[in-house]
Amino acid sequence: MKKDGIIEWIREYFKGNDSLNAVIGISGGTDSSVSAALLCEALGKDRVVGVLMPCGEQHDIDVSKQLVDQLGIRHYIVNIKEPVTALHDLIGDVVGCEPNDTDAYKTNTPARIRMTVLYGICALVGGRVTNTCNLSEDYVGYSTKFGDAAGDFSILSSFTKTEVKEIGRELGLPSIFVDKIPEDGMSGKSDEERLGFTYAVLDRYIRTGEIDDEATRERIERMHRANLHKLLPMPAYKYEP
C-alpha cells in the first residue's frame, strides 16, 4: 500500500523531534484531507494541528469542519477576509489601480496570506508546516509560489491526483473528502475548468506519456515550462573572490 511508505517517511522526518507538531491548512479538499489523515496515522492526532482559513463566507467550510471532527484533531479557524481586504486597499492606493483586476493578484495573494497564517500558528504551537501539493499540480504549476507551494515538508508531491485519491481510499476516508471536486475557493471555478483539461488526462500523460489530443499536450508542456521556477531552487549569483 502506498500509504505505508508515506507514514514511515513522515515518522522518519519527525524522528528526534517528538515535541514538534504538524501544522496543516484544511480546505476540505482531497489533498489536505488525505495529508491530514496520513499525519494522524504517522504521529497521532494529538500532534496534528489543522487550520481552516475561509476568506469571508466559504460555501464548503462544513466539509473542512467534518474532517477535523472525524480525525479528532485540534484546529483553529482564521478568517483571512480582513487582512486580504486591508492589503488590497493599501496596495491599490499606493499603485493607483484595482488589484483584483489582475487574476494573478486576486488568486495568489489570499494563498500567500494563508501561508503566513500557517507559519504564524506554527511559531506559537511549535511545529512544521505541511505542504499538500500533489504531482499533478506541481507539473503544470497549479499552485502559488510562497503560498500553497510553500511548506517545510511535502507528503504528496510524488503522487498524481488520481493516486492521492487511491491513498485516501486506503486510509478509509469517506467519499466526501476523497472525491470532492477540486477548486481554489477564490475564482468560483473548478481546477479542471481553470486548467482546461481534466486531472485524468493530465495524470495519464504524466505516468505514461500518452495523450489523445496534441493541443492539450502542448498546453500541458507550455504550463510546465512556464512554472518550473516554482519548483526549482532560487537562482543565485555566486561571487568567487
- Going along the chain from its start, the domains and CATH numbers come out as 2-230 (3.40.50.620)
Residue-level pLDDT at 186:
63
Alpha carbon 16 to chain centroid distance?
26
Apex 128 CA angle, 147 and 34, nearest 5: 70
- Cα distance between residue 80 and residue 66, in whole Å: 20
Predicted model pTM: 0.93
Pairing state of beta strands 74-77 and 21-25?
A: unpaired
Residue-level pLDDT at 15:
94
Residue-level pLDDT at 174:
95
Alpha carbon 165 to chain centroid distance?
15
Q: What is the DSSP letter of 171?
A: T
Helix-helix angle 30-43:2-13, to 10 degrees:
60
Grid coordinates in use for 103?
487574476
Residue-level pLDDT at 187:
64
What average pLDDT does the structure give for the chain? 95
Residue-level pLDDT at 19:
86
Residue-level pLDDT at 141:
95
Query: What residue type is 86 in one-letter code?
Result: A
Contact 155, 38 (CB under 8 A): yes
Residue-level pLDDT at 185:
65
Grid coordinates in use for 204?
495519464
For the chain, list residues with pLDDT below 50: none
Residue-level pLDDT at 27:
94
63 Cβ neighbours under 8 A, 6+ residues apart: 28, 176, 177, 180
Q: How is 164-177 classified by DSSP, letter by letter?
A: HHHHHHHTT--HHH
